[in-house]
Amino acid sequence: MNNPQLINTNYSKIVQDGLWNNNPALAQVLGLCPLLAVSGTVINALALGVATMLVLVASNLAVSLLRQYIPNEIRIPIFVLIIAGFVTIVEHLMHAYLYNLYTVLGIFVPLIVTNCAIIGRAEGFASKHSPMPSIIDGISMGLGFTGVLVALGVMREILAQGTLFADANIMLGQWAKTVTIFEDYDGFLLAALPPGAFIGLGLLLALKNVIDQNMRKRQSSRLTVEVLDSNAVAVISQPD
């Protein structure tokens, strides 16, 4: 038991990284093609986010289990094969059980294979860690990605159509209803078009930077106070 990683894995750091600090969409800025193309409505965003997360967890687990047996020189093609396998499974499952959703998302389900956030985690995390941390990493990275997708979907759908959860029934079943935010809304087409996605993502990135800056400022001010306090204690206790 010489491997320190096995003994004390910092799970809360993995979760924090995936959800915020190293968020695939907002910090690594990976996987933007599906992010921008499918965030037109909340339901599309949620569906693609969940599908990506399933693939990410499964591929992280598989890569982590096989990491001792994958030759370093050809690891990337092997990762791609593993990911493609899981994407095919997810695609067939959607085709079988959520056919309407499958037709709406179209090419973007198979395209999960090319989502560099997934291969990035396989290369950067799963191939160096044991299965349990890899699964946690997959879940938190997947949730982080889904969160950004849904946030963008909410912004774009409200602005473009004045609704939320339009066509929710194709994913969640008959009970789901569309929520109308603005009655008699003419629609702001720009939000539904590609520029709306780029502007929305830009605003989200800016928001994350502002929040990070404020947190850093607060942390550094707290640190100086602590340092001052400990100095004070040192000064007081010096006469001994």
Partner 1 sequence: MEFSQLQHYSPHTPAQASVSRVMLNVMLALIPGIVVYIFFFGWGVLVNIVLASIFALLAESLVLAVRKRPVFTTLLDGSALLTGILLALALPSHSAWWVIAVGVFFAIIIAKQLYGGLGLNPFNPAMTGYVVLLISFPLEMTRWSPPLELAEQSLSLIEAFRYSFSGYLPSSMDLDMISLATPLDIARERVDMGMKLSAVRSEFSIFSLLSGKGTEWINVAFLAGGIWLLFIRLIDWRIPASLLLAMGAAAGVFWLINPEQYLSPLFHLFAGATMLGAFFIATDPVTASTTPVGRLIFGAGCGLLIYIIRSGGGYPDGVAFAVLLMNLSAPLIDHFSQPRITGYKKPEEPKP
- For binding to partner 1 (CB under 8 A), which residues are involved? 186, 188-190, 193, 199
Minimum distance, C-beta of residue 187 to partner 1, in the bound complex (Å): 8
Report the residue number, 183 or 240, with the smaller CB distance to partner 1: 183
Report the residue number, 49 or 196, with the smaller CB distance to partner 1: 196
Minimum distance, C-beta of residue 3 to partner 1, in the bound complex (Å): 48
HEC sequence for 194-226: HHHHHHHHHHHHHHHHHHHHHHHHHHHHHHHHH
Report the residue number, 176 or 199, with the smaller CB distance to partner 1: 199
Report the residue number, 186 or 226, with the smaller CB distance to partner 1: 186
Minimum distance, C-beta of residue 156 to partner 1, in the bound complex (Å): 13
Considering only CA atoms, which of 79, 63, 78 is closest in space to residue 135? 63
Minimum distance, C-beta of residue 200 to partner 1, in the bound complex (Å): 11
> What are the Cα distances from residue 71, in Å, to 56, 76, 77, 127, 186?
21, 10, 11, 11, 57
> What are the Cα distances from residue 59, in Å, to 112, 138, 142, 193?
12, 8, 12, 32
Report the residue number, 106 or 187, with the smaller CB distance to partner 1: 187
Minimum distance, C-beta of residue 189 to partner 1, in the bound complex (Å): 4
Considering only CA atoms, which of 91, 105, 92, 122 is closest in space to residue 37? 105
